[in-house]
Amino acid sequence: MYDLKSCVATEFINDAEIRETLAFADEHRNDRGMISAILDKARTCAGLTHREAILLLDCTDPELNERIYAEAMEIKQRFYGNRIVMFAPLYLSNYCVNGCTYCPYHMKNTHIARKKLTQEEIRAEVIALQDMGHKRLALETGEHPTMCPLDYVLESIDTIYSIHHKNGAIRRVNVNIAATTVENYTRLKNAGIGTYILFQETYNKKIYEEKHPTGPKSNYAYHTEAMDRAMEGGIDDVGCGVLFGLAPYRYDFVGLLMHAEHLEAAKGVGPHTISVPRIRRADDIDPLMFSEAIDDDTFAKIVAVLRLAVPYTGLIISTRESVKARERVLKLGVSQISGASRTSVGGYVSPEPEDENSSQFDVVDNRTLDEVVNWLMRLGHVPSFCTACYREGRTGDRFMSLVKSGQIVNCCQPNALMTLKEYLEDYASPETREIGEALIEKELQRIPNEKVRLIAAEHLFELHEGKRDFRF
């Protein structure tokens, strides 16, 4: 039985409810009256239920689709303006005991290079990331009880936060590690992590079990209930996602929204972020073997409808996507992107020799961070290296209430400009700096609160004089 408040995986992600929802969408996908009413609701930023959202996703009427895209762009502007938060992944270890059929780190892969960074190697990686200008990381590891225990992850987080090279600092460490116990989530929380990220991969239990034939991750319920345990352990901000390409995308789209609805109903706060990765080529993984892979149009529609369905949730895309695909979805709702990513273990310090590949997937967007920042600004976006909320204790429901009241813009906009200014002063090429300085001057006027605007202007001047790390 479907019960969104239940903490049992098959009750809050209920197969019968998903199938009924999909049948409902089959029947009403181009019902103009219904879709117009849903779009009117979306405009109030009330969010959408999974039933409402799938109708929009399935709609094939070109005129209605134009309206869907226009509303998504409008909501993106209203909440996120033209700001895009930047981050980079940091792979600590690729030892893994699981058998995931879409990931080259699966245990049976004997030819991929297996690596685990020492604390000294982590130092070197972090310095390389700081020297690019990154301030926000997502830690990535495989699941391995002896090669990559939680103690190692916690020690690594301490190491990362302790490194201050020149003006560099990693100010927020998000963590993407395997589902674990409430006690371990509390330990992660106490280590000062930002968001705990765990992709569901697919919500379809049968397909999940096929794609995860062995290892602890093969337990659908334990994996699906992980966010409940994380929140029980005290983690306020969780990041969900599916890997599009494993199962029919409509099923996973509905499941993803049901998961968000469940967390909101049962824990009082929905996911902080949602990621939308698509299956990519990797060491022994051929994406052509995955018949459910989605095209760029479907991908863009998913982003647009998610923007309407969960207006307060950050949407993330990675360098798995091409420059063209990234450019398209930035307007429609994406609020965070990675830049200059290396998906190998130790890849920031030196590129790996060809016979020593440890990458989780092939990066499609290979540009440097300076090139990505330059590109974003030329498109009219403001790259932001902001990490302020978590450092100011604005997490979970405290964060959400600030976002829902619309007050967050008085923090996001000045913080984006001040962290961009730091980037320009410390790391940018002359051309990027020139574009950025003009952009900051223009964007400063968009801070709605006059007092905040004046303080931000003062801090921008102080940043130029050499001071660092201001935030609202």
Per rule CB under 6 A, is residue 411 in the interface with ligand SF4? yes
Q: What mask of x and - would describe binding to ligand SF4 in positions 346 to 385, judged by CB under 6 A?
A: --------------------------------------x-
- For ligand SF4, which is the closer residue by CB, 4 or 403? 403
CB of 403 to ligand SF4, least distance (A): 7
Per rule CB under 6 A, is residue 100 in the interface with ligand SF4? yes
Calpha distance 187→166 (Å, rounded): 30
Count of positions on this chain that bind ligand SF4 (CB under 6 A)? 19
Please choose, out of 21-29, 94-102, 180-188, 244-252, the segment that lies near ligand SF4 by the rule CB under 6 A: 94-102
CB of 455 to ligand SF4, least distance (A): 14
Calpha distance 169→160 (Å, rounded): 9
Per rule CB under 6 A, is residue 421 in the interface with ligand SF4? no
- For ligand SF4, which is the closer residue by CB, 389 or 424? 389
Q: Work out which of 389, 440, 447, 463 binds ligand SF4, going by CB under 6 A.
A: 389
- For ligand SF4, which is the closer residue by CB, 13 or 408? 408
137 to 92, 169, 177, 321, 387: CA distances (angstroms): 12, 11, 13, 18, 10
Q: Work out which of 59, 276, 412, 417 binds ligand SF4, going by CB under 6 A.
A: 412
Question: Is 457 within 8 Å of 92 (Cβ atoms)?
Answer: no
Per rule CB under 6 A, is residue 386 in the interface with ligand SF4? yes
Residues 183-222 that bind ligand SF4 (CB under 6 A): 217
Phi, psi (deg, nearest 5) at residue 138 = -120, 115
- The DSSP code sequence of 62-101 is HHHHHHHHHHHHHHHHHHHTTEEEEEEEEEEE-------T
CB of 271 to ligand SF4, least distance (A): 14
Q: Which residues of 320-357 are buried (b: 16+ CB within 10 A; e: fewer)?
A: bbeeebbebbbbbbbbbbbbbbbbbbbbbeeebeeeeb
Calpha distance 59→47 (Å, rounded): 18
Among positive and negative, which fits the CA dihedral 381, 386, 390, 394? negative
Residues 29-88 that bind ligand SF4 (CB under 6 A): 85
CB of 142 to ligand SF4, least distance (A): 4
Please choose, out of 22-30, 95-103, 300-308, 448-456, the segment that lies near ligand SF4 by the rule CB under 6 A: 95-103
CB of 377 to ligand SF4, least distance (A): 17
Closest CA to 235 of 172, 171, 182: 182
Tokens of 319: 């360098």
Per rule CB under 6 A, is residue 98 in the interface with ligand SF4? yes
Question: For 305-438, where are the E strands, in sequence order?
Answer: 314-317, 336-338, 382-384
- For ligand SF4, which is the closer residue by CB, 217 or 307? 217
- For ligand SF4, which is the closer residue by CB, 193 or 411? 411
With both helix axes pointing from N to C terminus, report the angle between 15-28 and 249-267 in degrees, rounded to the nearest 10: 120
The DSSP bridge partners found for residue 174 are 138
Tokens of 19: 């199938």
Calpha distance 72→86 (Å, rounded): 21
Please choose, out of 98-106, 246-254, 341-349, 455-463, the segment that lies near ligand SF4 by the rule CB under 6 A: 98-106
CB of 216 to ligand SF4, least distance (A): 9
CB of 263 to ligand SF4, least distance (A): 18
Q: Work out which of 14, 395, 415, 432 binds ligand SF4, going by CB under 6 A.
A: 415
Report CA dihedral (61, 259, 389, 154) to the nearest 10 degrees.
Answer: -140
Tokens of 395: 């997490």
Closest CA to 258 of 470, 455, 10: 10
DSSP state of 272: S
CB of 388 to ligand SF4, least distance (A): 4
- For ligand SF4, which is the closer residue by CB, 408 or 420? 408
CB of 85 to ligand SF4, least distance (A): 5
Q: What mask of x and - would describe binding to ligand SF4 in positions 120 to 149, judged by CB under 6 A?
A: ----------------------xx------
Calpha distance 24→26 (Å, rounded): 5
Closest CA to 424 of 432, 415, 416: 432
Please choose, out of 33-41, 263-271, 411-419, 457-465, the segment that lies near ligand SF4 by the rule CB under 6 A: 411-419
Q: What is the largest CA-CA distance in the chain?
A: 63
- For ligand SF4, which is the closer residue by CB, 57 or 175? 175
Contact residues for ligand SF4, defined by CB under 6 A: 85, 96, 98, 100, 103, 105-106, 142-143, 217, 384, 386-389, 408, 411-412, 415
